[in-house]
Amino acid sequence: MSQVLVPLADGFEEIEAISVIDLLRRSQIEVTVAGVSGRSAMGAHQIAVQTDATLDEVVERPFDMVVLPGGMPGAQTLRENGQLAHKIKAMNDEGKWIAAICAAPMALAAAGVLVGRRATSYPGFLDEFEDVRQTGAPVERDDRIITARGPGAAMDFALTLIEVLAGKETRDTIEAGLQRP
């Protein structure tokens, strides 16, 4: 079973975090939600989430994927977290999956894993990184790095993560159950 780390910092975007966590868990993918500054995090729209652990407690564990939700100031906090930057670099070096949505791709760019790669984000959040090939796509995959534009792309982002971790059949089953138009 795949192991996924989802770090949450205060100010995370709820749609991007909760829908992704929910759909991954529906797919029988083990998700560890880790609070950056404790065992809970407050979303950008004042929804409190109790995490499974703190980032300090799990950062050294092996994971198959790390998923960074956006939202502000949560994504900026993720960008500035040295432990997380080290984890992202290590997972990239190990050929693991790395994913981020909305403002959070800036944390990947700051960690140096988007150099020369295609990526997308909420408008403006990758502009300072001239070495990133911004596509503007709702969801962008470049090798083992997956990025998405924002809250409106959260479902497609989550389904893409499911497909790479659990296969197209699992993705199709989960998507059918969502009753999307």
In b/e form, how buried is each residue of 123-154, taking b as 16+ CB within 10 angstroms? eebbeebeebebeeeebbbbebbbbbbbbebb
- The candidate with the shortest Cα–Cα distance to 27, out of 157, 158, 144, is 158
d(CA 91, CA 126): 21
Q: Which of 44, 102, 109, 145 is catalytic?
A: 102
The question of whether 102 is a catalytic residue gets the answer: yes
- The candidate with the shortest Cα–Cα distance to 18, out of 128, 158, 163, 181, is 158
Which string of DSSP letters, residue by residue, matches 5-31? EEEE-TTB-HHHHHHHHHHHHHTT-EE
The one-letter code for the residue type at 70 is G
- First CA to last CA distance, the chain: 30
Which residues participate in catalysis according to the annotation? 102
